[in-house]
Amino acid sequence: MGIRYYGWAITDEEAAEARTDPWPVIRRADRRGDEPGWTNTCFDKAWPLLQRLFSPEGVRQPKPGYELVAGDVTYPYGYLEGYEPYVGVIARDRVPTIARDVASVSRSDVRLFCSGLRYGDQQVRRDDEGYLAYYLAEAQTFTADAAARGHAILYLIR
């Protein structure tokens, strides 16, 4: 199954509420689903690749797009006891900057990034480029729509 990323466009008022208690806002945003004017997304298991894309190794300051996928689950009681999800809230005023940065990444950038990916066995996974390109396009659409509508963003890594 694995840990996945889910994101919702929300109002700035909901963003303030979510900083205190995100769960009612998540439920409300999830119920809006496909209502006109509201967007949501799932980056599946691509969020760690998106993190690496927006915060390359050796770079001190991640790119603004990193804010869209920052965070990870935690294991406060040990790995065998399960994990706690990560909830991120992005204020409306940050969304346009993030959207511009996400939009600035091209397919050739993804190709170059993926050509340098190595794993524990030092292998390159051939399907990473298409997988990442697909979810980058999702991120581009999601952030552009949220920025155009003046929405904040709430996301959950779980």
Of residues 102, 109, 67, 103, the one with CA closest to residue 88: 67
Q: Give the pLDDT score at 121.
A: 58
Q: Which domains does the chain have, with CATH numbers?
A: 5-157 (3.40.1760.10)
Q: Give the pLDDT score at 73.
A: 94
Predicted confidence band of residue 119 (pLDDT cuts 50, 70, 90): low
| pLDDT higher than threshold 70 for residue 44 | yes
Q: Give the pLDDT score at 2.
A: 78
What is the average per-residue pLDDT within 42-67? 92
Predicted confidence band of residue 148 (pLDDT cuts 50, 70, 90): very high
| pLDDT higher than threshold 90 for residue 158 | yes
Instruction: Check the CA dihedral 94-97-103-106 and report its sign.
Output: negative
How are strands ordered across the β-sheet holding 152-157?
Answer: 40-44, 5-10, 152-157, 86-90
Predicted confidence band of residue 41 (pLDDT cuts 50, 70, 90): very high
pLDDT tens for 121-136 read 555 566 789 999 999 9
Beta bridge partners of 6: 42, 156
The CB density around residue 130, as the number of other CB atoms within 10 Å, is 11
| Helix H or strand E encompassing 26 | helix 22-32
> Number of H helices and number of E strands within the chain?
6, 4
What is the average per-residue pLDDT within 25-39? 92
Separation CA 82–CA 84 (nearest Å): 7
| Helix H or strand E encompassing 87 | strand 86-90
Higher confidence at residue 33 or residue 157?
157
What is the average per-residue pLDDT within 73-91? 93
Higher confidence at residue 112 or residue 59?
112
Predicted confidence band of residue 77 (pLDDT cuts 50, 70, 90): confident
